[in-house]
A and B are shown apart, each in its own frame.
Chain A
Amino acid sequence: MTINHNGSAAGLAVEAKNMNVYYGSFRAVKDISLKIERNSITALIGPSGCGKSTVLRSFNRMNDLVPSARVEGEILFQGNNIYAENVDPVEVRRRIGMVFQKPNPFPKSIYENVAWGARINGFKGNMDELVEQSLHHAALWDEVKDKLDQSGLSLSGGQQQRLCIARTIAVKPEIILMDEPASALDPIATLRIEDLIRELKKEYTILIVTHNMQQAARASDYTAFFNMDSDRAGYLVEFSETDEIFTNPKHELTEQYITGRFG
């Protein structure tokens, strides 16, 4: 795989090829092919039930935890199929982190919340430094530096979500998947998270599922629009640069959706 650090096209971070996801016999997502650029923010949008969260969770094999789920096709991460026989899903999740819809800090101290993931991943360096760095990156350090030993649950919702982001980047993943990370937050906390996401783009590739069209327009470089077909399987309608999608959509469905006529 060739990586171009200087060129405008930074190269591919991850690519889905003809991916289908099944829950039992139900096909939730069909024939998804997507190429995600390095150090970009890609928004996955679409009406509820269109499988965008399922697609997101396929990128780090979180769907493996659902007993009936099955993924067909390939997801290439740095040239390797993460669904290949000999790949350990745990290793995949270490490289491709995830932030969830509802802030879900562990019932541990703020410090431990950040340190835990790194520790179980065998981090050997200076933990204090890593925790401080991660909290800085997550724009949370100034608010919590005097109370690192307090429970992560004592923070506000927005702070909790930034703690979860800090926890994720402490593991130093290459890609961060975000499943509607601001949907449980108030507007001000939402804007802070969006600022943070743009900041994180410098070092990480980000895929974000969102319900919020403005958020997709504001925060992302690329947008993938999904829809559900008649047998309730989600499929990719259109994928292109965000400006393109929002100003000049190629597909009629996309236009209807972004102008709020369905979904």
Chain B
Amino acid sequence: MSSDTNAFQRPAMGSGGKSTQDAWFQRALALAGASVLIILAAMLISTAMNAWPVFTHSGWSFITSSDWDPGISRTEITGSYGALSFILGTLITSTIALLIAVPLAIGCSLYLTQIARPSIGRPLAYAVDLLAAVPSVVYGLWGLLFFVPIFVRPMIKVIADTVGEAVPFLGSPVVTYNYATAGIVLAIMVLPIITAVTREVMLNTPIAEIQGAYALGSTRWEMIRAIVLPRARPGIIGATMLGLGRALGETVAVAMLIGGSQRMPTSLFQGGQSMAGVIAITFQEASPENVKALLGVGVVLFVITVLVNMAARLVIWATGGRVAGDAAV
């Protein structure tokens, strides 16, 4: 090595680039990262701005009235826009879905993490994850032409004919496609995401506590009751909310199975419409003012789902981190 007069320059090597390159690189990546935030903000702003004339025209009745009678004006708002029946449709189908899916997901997760040997549990878990890979239009098709007419309708008929007389909202008449049919298929669709999160949380049960319970002579079920379930509760709550977010936003399968009628629900076995469903079904033929109203429905849907999702993620993050895997996205 020869001595240098200029300490930080060497003849052997040229310049390897300047430190400003790193600054630009970081800025570019930061911009890409921030794009997620920018896109979410742009989504809300752009749709809300377009829907604004309808919001100002309808006021609160947009979400408190069920009078939905689109006008045909290109420039003004002339119709009545009350989206309550769609909002209720979304809430009813989502509730049915969660009532079925959450207990099932807890059962599946317990079986997969606490009972099945890994050699059996892992492929079974993968199979449950596969439910998330089925496109929603395929759920819709399958529900429409196979599952509902062959399995669900006879079942519903029995319920309506027996307990339906006594219990409100479960009575006749029964139409083939209704809130319940959409909710049941929706349950199958949100099952994998709820299971994925619940499973992850249950896998993190401290082994020392499990062994402690066994050492006291617990049966496996007693151990689950005493250790696994209480520990998993926040995770299950987060998973349920995540599933709710998914159920609220699901579009085509619900649109195909909910029956597509515009009125206030009086029975679960009656046809209705959801927020996402009314957008999907009527958007293509909608007049300009109707488009604005449907954008308004979208804004309401977006706000609800994003709030539910944010709450879900906060709960899940608080239980110790994010959940990995394809089914959870």
CB closest chain-B residue, reference A130: B12
Does B320 reach chain A (CB closer than 8 Å)? no
With A174-B1, A203-B1 as contacts: A77 and B16 at CB distance below 8 Å: no
Interface string of A89-132 (1 = CB under 8 A from B): 01110110000000000000000000000101111100000000
CB closest chain-B residue, reference A80: B7
Q: Which residues of B contact A187 (CB under 8 A)?
A: none
CB closest chain-B residue, reference A2: B3
With A123-B14, A174-B1 as contacts: A77 and B19 at CB distance below 8 Å: no
* Interface residue range, chain A: 20 to 34
Contact at B8–A95, with CB atoms within 8 Å?
yes
Contact at B8–A122, with CB atoms within 8 Å?
no
Does B13 reach chain A (CB closer than 8 Å)? yes
Contact at A123–B13, with CB atoms within 8 Å?
yes
CB closest chain-B residue, reference A92: B8
Does A184 reach chain B (CB closer than 8 Å)? no
Interface string of B1-38 (1 = CB under 8 A from A): 10110011010111111010000000000000000000
Contact at B3–A1, with CB atoms within 8 Å?
yes
Q: Which residues of A contact B10 (CB under 8 A)?
A: 94-95, 172
Contact at B1–A77, with CB atoms within 8 Å?
no
Q: Which residues of A contact B3 (CB under 8 A)?
A: 1, 3, 78
The CA of A78 and the CA of B6, in the complex, are separated in Å by 9
Q: Which residues of B contact A87 (CB under 8 A)?
A: 8
The CA of A65 and the CA of B13, in the complex, are separated in Å by 24
The CA of A80 and the CA of B6, in the complex, are separated in Å by 10
The CA of A8 and the CA of B8, in the complex, are separated in Å by 26
Q: Which of A78, A118, A204 contacts B7 (CB 8 A)?
A: A78
* Least Cβ–Cβ distance between B77 and chain A, in angstroms: 55
Q: Which of A1, A120, A172, A203 contacts B16 (CB 8 A)?
A: A120
Does A171 reach chain B (CB closer than 8 Å)? yes
Contact at B19–A90, with CB atoms within 8 Å?
yes
Q: Which residues on B are within 8 Å of A, measured CB to CB?
A: 1, 3-4, 7-8, 10, 12-17, 19
Known contacts A79-B7, A122-B14, A122-B17, then 20 further A-B pairs from the complex at CB < 8 Å, ordered by chain A residue: A3-B3, A38-B1, A80-B7, A87-B8, A88-B8, A88-B19, A90-B16, A90-B19, A92-B8, A94-B16, A118-B13, A121-B13, A121-B14, A122-B13, A122-B16, A123-B13, A171-B13, A172-B13, A203-B1, A204-B1
Listed from nearest, the 4 A-B pairs whose CB atoms lie closest are: A122-B14, A121-B16, A3-B3, A78-B7
